[in-house]
A and B are shown apart, each in its own frame.
Chain A
């Protein structure tokens, strides 16, 4: 099944869920980081010019370029809790597979293995690996035990408008009650005929069809939600 949810049992005694992120947002984040790195390199190169490219300036330039190449992601992932500037813009973050923040060690491993993920060209190996496991992990992620998750807040359920609550005519199981609540909250996303079709299933309970059935069901849902 296509499911990007990732579940871990944490010491709070509950299952925590996170949304893993696929290749597309990660590519965008990478492109943004590449741009930033390119700009930084250009600025560094410019500021090294007065000191001589084959002298002190060149020496520091090479050290900084080296650091930028290998440690730019490590630095940000460790200091900014798993986010490089590109990842921050995209609202995604690297995290250990137990959902704790990345540490220096795991970040180093995943980023050193970038060289292999890049092979043979343009991160092909990384892409193929990402698409062949359920958590979208590239080779570096697999070895480091990290994944990239989304930090975007999901859209909140729209507040229930003016709905007069109505007590259900029969006792319903919790799971049935939840379905009715979900129906109430998702109705704005459904077309009217679809709403009526779904409400029609429960005609035995609401004793109403069409528009009336939908309204009845909404009112029952509001009652279950606790609207008074």
Chain B
């Protein structure tokens, strides 16, 4: 068949499909879509086989591409099933990242402990890590004489602090993850310095005997926040490790596979940090609750997070 007759025979079909692809929002009928897709695949194959001219091949190619994108729009992974995610996907992702989590935990906790010990025994030590202005701010925040806890509240609204914690903490976790693509170095730096700051400040405040204001404040949301930072570090290290040690894959393929693997971790981290911000703004900062209540709930939250984090193994297919 000559190209002209082929075009004349199918022109109306192509034109109508082109038109329907222009306004795809009108929920396209799956059956019709599949039929069109198969038909156009055949037309494209014919056009290529018979060496019809480049313009026609390109037009058919674009039609198939449009139909293909439409056809694969609804995949199960785009529909996030929250229940299945919490019950299975996230714990399983945690289990599969266990070695990276362990590594991230060490890089986060060890500098924290060292910095904490140092600032606990040396009054001046914190000033080598944080500038004097910030030290004063932190000291004022947890001064037992002060009436409000946490960051100083110019206007006493929890919602403001909620927004503040979301913006700050989730951004830190995101950067911690993203730094992983630099062969893991960015992640290691973020983990190391955040561990050091948190440990250093904790040691310093303990030395000043602000124990009753600082620890009850951080114990509740710390369960989610600290864990989430370690998780984001683990996700970042997963990317970095994929580049350093690609195994049987090319470095690029290995990185891409790692990029797919860490997705459930990222969803989980975001959710944990939102919870952390909630707890931090509306619970931790409350001055009405007694120290005991905060310790008790804090212990419960830690137990919950840890138990949950260790629950993934049974979902690993054998």
Q: Which residues of A come within 8 Å of B, CB atoms? A: 10, 12-14, 16-18, 52, 54-56, 58-63, 65-66, 69-70, 78, 81, 95, 97, 99-101, 103-106, 108-109, 112-116, 133, 139, 142-145, 153-157, 174-175, 177-178, 181-182, 185, 224-228
Contacts and interface: CB of A to CB of B under 8 A. Distances in A.
A108 B263 contact: yes
Contacts of B170: 66, 70
Given A66-B167, A113-B181, A142-B255, A56 B160 contact: yes
A116 B157 contact: no
Interface stretch (B57-65, B205-213, B286-294): B57-65
A102 to B, nearest CB: 9
A56 B56 CA distance: 59
A73 B263 CA distance: 17
B100 to A, nearest CB: 15
B297 interface: no
Nearest to A185: B53
Interface string B261-286: 01100110000000000000000000
Contacts of B157: 52, 54-56, 59
A66 B171 contact: yes
Nearest to B171: A66
B44 interface: yes
Interface residues of B, number: 65
Interface of B: 1-6, 37-38, 41, 44-45, 48, 50-51, 53-56, 58-59, 61-62, 64-65, 68-69, 72-73, 75, 77-78, 80, 154-155, 157-164, 166-167, 170-171, 174-175, 177-179, 181-182, 186, 239, 252, 255-256, 258-260, 262-263, 266-267
Contact of A58 (B38, B160, B256): B160
A226 B6 CA distance: 9
Contacts of B159: 55-56, 59-60
A65 B55 CA distance: 46
B2 A224 contact: yes
Interface SS of chain B: helix, strand, loop or mixed? Answer: helix
Nearest to B157: A55
B53 A55 contact: no
Cβ-closest 8 pairs across A and B = A226-B2, A12-B41, A226-B4, A62-B163, A59-B159, A157-B55, A105-B263, A59-B163
Contacts of A154: 55, 58-59, 62
B20 to A, nearest CB: 15
Given A58-B160, A115-B175, A153-B62, A143 B259 contact: yes
Given A13-B45, A95-B69, A157-B53, A105 B167 contact: no
A187 to B, nearest CB: 13
A165 B260 CA distance: 56
Contact of B75 (A62, A103, A108, A227): A103
A182 B3 CA distance: 13
Contacts of A108: 263, 266-267
Chain A CB within 10 Å, residue with most, of B72, B181, B266: B181
A143 B258 contact: yes
Given A63-B166, A116-B186, A157-B56, 4 more contacts: A13-B41, A144-B256, A153-B62, A225-B53
Chain A CB within 10 Å, residue with most, of B38, B61, B174, B178: B178
A18 B37 CA distance: 17
